[in-house]
A and B are shown apart, each in its own frame.
Chain A
Amino acid sequence: AQSVTQLDSHVSVSEGTPVLLRCNYSSSYSPSLFWYVQHPNKGLQLLLKYTSAATLVKGINGFEAEFKKSETSFHLTKPSAHMSDAAEYFCVVTPSNDYKLSFGAGTTVTVRA
């Protein structure tokens, strides 16, 4: 079985400051991990994915995430937040023997001017 825990339900940052969204997972099999972003009333957009290659993954819009197996973590970071980063972010895991996604509860990001 697999599960995902997003440690913060809401993160508020000032524009131009770093963003950190924390995610821990558990999986019975070597997982693939994803971060998706959802803007209001929109579908989900893939930010980045980890699939057993490089542990530091770079995604779109300046986001990156590091897979740490020893800590079972996949935290998402961005060095400088932009107003357009205000959205809901989902950490997602799927084990190597399945193709269905397990979602975290989501983190709402607010960016202050």
Chain B
Amino acid sequence: DAMVIQNPRYQVTQFGKPVTLSCSQTLNHNVMYWYQQKSSQAPKLLFHYYDKDFNNEADTPDNFQSRRPNTSFCFLDIRSPGLGDAAMYLCATSRGGAAYEQYFGPGTRLTVT
């Protein structure tokens, strides 16, 4: 089945130690998104790629970076994780028009020790 895959599902990292989360899709969608979701909150958009064009949200900390080497893969890099970065990170894809829904991956639960 076509889908959005996130690895790993659970990630533990140490305070200040760089970590990379990965997302892949078999839907061939133009747009890939990264969201941060903290407990009992709605997802918060960090950034997205429309094809190769990177779009950063104004309030996304510089500590968060992203790479999209090809259509299928997108990575979220946290350069120096702090305790406040512990959250669920969701990857999503869409075809890019307003009428198109986003397809979400299962998420990666990040713990910072």
Mask for B44-64, Cβ within 8 A of A = 1, else 0? 010010000000000000000
Tell yes or no: A69 within 8 A of B by CB.
no
Query: B79-113 interface mask toward A, CB cutoff 8 Å, 1 = contact, 0 = none?
Result: 00000000010101010111111111111010000
A94 vs B6: C-alpha distance when bound (angstroms):
25
Please report the C-alpha to C-alpha distance between residue A72 and residue B98 in the assembled complex, in whole angstroms. 18
- Determine if B101 and A49 form an interchain contact, defined as CB atoms under 8 angstroms apart: yes
Distance, CA A10 to CA B48, complexed state (A): 31
Residues A1-26 near B (CB distance < 8 A): none
Instruction: Answer yes or no: A70 CB below 8 A from chain B CBs.
Output: no
Decide if B16 is an interface residue (CB 8 Å cutoff). no
Interface size on A, residues (CB 8 A): 25
B48 — which chain A residues lie within 8 A by C-beta? 100
Q: Interface SS of chain A: helix, strand, loop or mixed?
A: loop
Residue of B94, B99, B103 ringed by the most chain A CB atoms within 10 A: B99
Residue among B48, B94, B100, B102 having the largest count of chain A Cβ atoms under 10 Å? B102
B8 contacts the other chain (CB 8 A):
no
A44 to B92, CA, bound (A): 9
Q: Which B residues are CB-close (under 8 A) to A98?
A: 98
- A97 touching B98 by the CB < 8 A rule? yes
Residue of chain B at shortest CB distance from A53: B99
Q: What is the bound-complex CA distance between A22 and B99, given in angstroms?
A: 21
Which B residues fall within an 8 A CB radius of A? Answer: 4, 6, 31, 40-43, 45, 48, 88, 90, 92, 94, 96-107, 109
